[in-house]
Structure 1
Amino acid sequence: MKTSDFSVLIVDDEPNIRSGLAKGLAGEADRVETASDAEAALDKFEQSTYQLVIADVRLGGKIDGIELLRQLGQTHPQTAVIVITAHGTVETAVDAMRAGAFDFISKPLDLNLVRQQVRKARQHHALRIENQQLRSRLADAGQISNILGTCAAMQDVFHQIRQVATTEATVMIQGESGTGKELIARAVHDLSPRGDGPFVAVNLGAMPESLLESELFGHEKGSFSGASRQKPGCFEQASGGTLFLDEVTEMSAKSQVDLLRVLESGQFIRVGGEQLLSANVRIVSATNKSVQAMIEEGTFREDLFYRLNVIPIEVPSLRQRREDIPLLVEHFLKHFCDRHGRPMKQISPEAMQTLVAAKWPGNVRQLRNVVERMVVTHTDDLIHDHQLPQELQLQASSNAPSATACTLAEAVERCERETISAAMAACDCHRENTAKRLGVSVRTLHYKMSRYGLH
């Protein structure tokens, strides 16, 4: 099926309504099919995909329209559902909207109104497809969301993001602190069918165990001291979108059991509550620790690890992608000069050599902070080697003897030259577009092109 196709499934236990809607909507969709109950509708989803479901709340069989809506929300979050309710049943309509319905229509049915709702759903579907295509084009340009990288290691990460984003599989991102794990989680979300839904991030390492259950699952009013009102948890807040669990290995043994139970059943209960709620979320987790070592030590559950680690993504440290440092430096220079109202600055070749050779234990986050410090504290347009933090100069000198430093400088220049040449070719030698693509000023681009003999 083409991504532009728009198919509708009508679910109603009254044959006259099914046939009447099918005929009336024939010109509004590429394909219109019907099912007599929720079970038959779910069976149809095993064989095909529908962009819109129109379902009556009251259906024959064990599953009503609201439960069908909830199940489709878990298995096919990209499918919009319009619920048909009896005249005047406001409470049912509210329940449907809370469960994720695209909209509701009251009986008796007005065919013109139904057609308007279908057109609205089709426009929403087309906009979502257009947004996904735009995100994919941005990803193909060597950048996903706010992540930059041209080295082989980062291109491999980009490839993994593109592959996993279109699925519902859980993802575990592993890498050192400061490597950008949350940015990668956001990229997975942005490129997914859930990209228009919420992205909720929670840092489990900064959460006391006494508050974690309430934070994740919510609580009812009066469930504990200080609970003055009902509060939805992260699972509810992220409904229809992505829940990012950062520092997931910091959870206590009890919290690990609670999370595993939700992942296995797809359901949870608020603290102090009785109602069983569905978790319509995609889970992406992250850690900077060796999970295998923790499993061997008995501090992390192996079964939870297998639930979270369906798709692993390993983020390289900045030391493993030194050829990306010039690109990142230029990007951060432009960002912070714009942010702090400073004229665009440049890095001398010797200073860039030092930045490339430094150890960077704090990874990209540390590099970002260093560049911001240089932008704020130095008035010169050109930042020299001696103006960099002393610890970076010491690291660079200890890591790179003179012969190696020369080779490293050549590697940096070669990387910059190749990056600029590729960008110029992609932009048909249009300098302003090339500068925008590289995230630098036109003046910086002219300086680099002159330096490397590029015309």
Structure 2
Amino acid sequence: MRKMLVITRDGGRSEDVEELFGKGKVVGAGGGLDETAPEGDREVDTLFVDVETLLNGDGSISSALEDLWQHYPSAAIVVMADDGQTKEAVDAVKAGAFDYLTRPVGREEFGLVMDKVRRTDVLQSELDYLRDQFWNEESLDYVDTRSKAMRDVFVKLRQVAGTRTTVLLTGETGTGKSLIAKLLHAHSNRRDMPFISVHCGAIPDTLVESELFGHEKGSFTGAVRRKLGKFELAHGGTIFLDEIGTVSQSVQVKLLNVIQERVIQRVGGESDLAVDVRIIAATNEDMGQLVEEGRFRRDLYYRLNVFPIRIPPLRERAEDIPRLSEGFIKQFNGLLNTEVKSIHPQVLDRLMEYHWPGNVRELENVIERACILEPGDVLTPDSFPPDLLGGQGEMVTAPVRTNLPLKEARRITVDTFEKQYLASVLELCGGVIKDAAEHAGITTRQLNKLMNRHGLDKKPYKNKK
């Protein structure tokens, strides 16, 4: 059960929230910040405070919020404002407050804010758990996902990382299987030993055995010296066999022997060499179908498929596109010496609607191209391929999300349309709030609230009229 605290100057406005949420679940504190319990209350998870209370202190809104967090470190702070206090409420959100509500507080608005608080709590608790219990510092940006499908992947990684169990990664090209393999090795008890990656499909058939198992001097034409294979180089560590479905039948037999006996034999050699290697294999093919067609040994498939992990395609984790795009922008700012700060909201909406046949790798390439072409600090439609954005500025039709309940799918569709509509109006009006509100037939206060809800800022639209 959530515990809320309402802090107001006169002490009477907590009744509004109590009526909306239910008696017995809201605690009122009249008299402002000075009347709050000095020891605080770590059980308070949502704190409602009016603008007058934040402005009453000697310092700024930011310092008033800091004082509140001193008392209530886990609380999401929601600011309550009258019609003429929107600017101060927005300033509070920029300073770290969770959101703001305007009086009189409506039941629907209150419900939306509380739903956001709950969703944020769930995501943050999951990330805190990952950070505190398992993932190393270098991996935190990658595991910070909004996708349930990817969170399921990371749960499986945690379960299997500390073992020597063979893992089979499946997924379309460009989904990040090699990165997942490195993540798995980095969190295993072999992390200080070698990680050797082999792209089986990039090696000619005649050289695959030599690359994997090594060869003796004179074992074939051109073998002028002994060469150690990838399995020997990975001894004590991990070997990653990418595109495992491409290897020949003869190599499959030897791989089966390595997995079963933990020994290898160099090409042209006669003695067995013991190897201690953890195997991670990956494929973008349907291994079951390859087995049925006789192109892949059934017994080897069973040996590799001990712990399968499917990496979802980008279209199934569209929630992560904004975060991934932001990360790629930072990456290419450093590599290309550019100063891009953000993506135009309309472009971001269309990126989230695109099918992404090339997955994360395609997104990375698209962002790199846009960073090179963009003359300003915001990535605009002109810097992206027309076919990706639907051509000539036309909207890309969003896919119907039949995997969700009707109510949730409808909400997402309405939110998407609302954000796209507002972005179009802001662009049409050059970012002038008064003109945009008049064009949309709403008040400036309503427009500001909607922009804040959808994360829109007027700055990217300035001088675009």
With the length of structure 2 as denominator, give the TM-score of the two structures: 0.57
Counterparts in 2 of 1:193 and 1:142: CA distance versus 1, 3 Å = closer
Whole-Å Cα distance in 1 between the matches of residues 419 and 134 of structure 2?
Answer: 27
Q: CA deviation at 1:255?
A: 1.3
Whole-Å Cα distance in 2 between the matches of residues 308 and 145 of structure 1?
Answer: 29
1:382 to 366, 378, 385: 378
Count of matched residue positions in the alignment of Structure 1 and Structure 2:
287
Please, what is the CA RMSD of the aligned residues?
A: 3.1
Contact 2:134 2:158 in 1 (8 A): no
Letter matched to residue 168 of structure 2 = M
Residue 182 of structure 2: aligned partner:
186
Q: CA deviation at 1:274?
A: 1.8
Whole-Å Cα distance in 1 between the matches of residues 141 and 281 of structure 2?
Answer: 18
- Do structure 1's residue 200 and structure 2's residue 196 form an aligned pair? yes
Contact 2:340 2:376 in 1 (8 A): no
SS state at 1:258 partner: helix
Counterparts in 2 of 1:340 and 1:239: CA distance versus 1, 3 Å = same
Residue 249 of structure 1: aligned partner:
245
Residue 397 of structure 1: aligned partner:
395
Question: Bigger CA drift: 312-321 or 271-280?
Answer: 271-280
Residue 278 of structure 1: aligned partner:
274
Residue 96 of structure 2: aligned partner:
none
Contact 1:169 1:282 in 2 (8 A): yes
Counterparts in 2 of 1:140 and 1:278: CA distance versus 1, 3 Å = closer
Larger radius of gyration: 2
Letter matched to residue 310 of structure 2 = E
Q: CA deviation at 1:265?
A: 0.9
Counterparts in 2 of 1:409 and 1:170: CA distance versus 1, 3 Å = farther
Letter matched to residue 415 of structure 2 = T
Residue 415 of structure 2: aligned partner:
407
Residue 90 of structure 2: aligned partner:
none
Letter matched to residue 332 of structure 2 = F
- Do structure 1's residue 240 and structure 2's residue 248 form an aligned pair? no
- Do structure 1's residue 310 and structure 2's residue 309 form an aligned pair? no
Residue 163 of structure 2: aligned partner:
167
Q: CA deviation at 1:229?
A: 1.1
Identity %: 44
Letter matched to residue 176 of structure 1 = E
Whole-Å Cα distance in 2 between the matches of residues 240 and 316 of structure 1?
Answer: 30
Counterparts in 2 of 1:140 and 1:217: CA distance versus 1, 3 Å = closer
Letter matched to residue 393 of structure 1 = L
Whole-Å Cα distance in 1 between the matches of residues 340 and 385 of structure 2?
Answer: 20
Residue 339 of structure 1: aligned partner:
335
Counterparts in 2 of 1:140 and 1:410: CA distance versus 1, 3 Å = farther
Whole-Å Cα distance in 2 between the matches of residues 185 and 449 of structure 1?
Answer: 35
Contact 1:143 1:149 in 2 (8 A): no
Contact 2:166 2:279 in 1 (8 A): yes
Contact 1:135 1:191 in 2 (8 A): no
Q: How does 1:136-151 map to 2 (within 5 A)?
A: 139=135, 143=139, 146=142, 149-151=145-147
Contact 1:249 1:300 in 2 (8 A): yes
Letter matched to residue 215 of structure 1 = E
Contact 1:348 1:383 in 2 (8 A): yes
Whole-Å Cα distance in 2 between the matches of residues 334 and 136 of structure 1?
Answer: 26
Deviations 1:61-92 (A, max 9, x none): xxxxxxxxxxxxxxxxxxxxxxxxxxxxxxxx
Contact 2:136 2:187 in 1 (8 A): no
Residue 422 of structure 1: aligned partner:
none
2:216 to 217, 220, 241: 220
Q: CA deviation at 1:280?
A: 0.9
Whole-Å Cα distance in 2 between the matches of residues 240 and 150 of structure 1?
Answer: 35
SS state at 2:390 partner: helix
- Do structure 1's residue 263 and structure 2's residue 281 form an aligned pair? no
With the length of structure 1 as denominator, give the TM-score of the two structures: 0.58
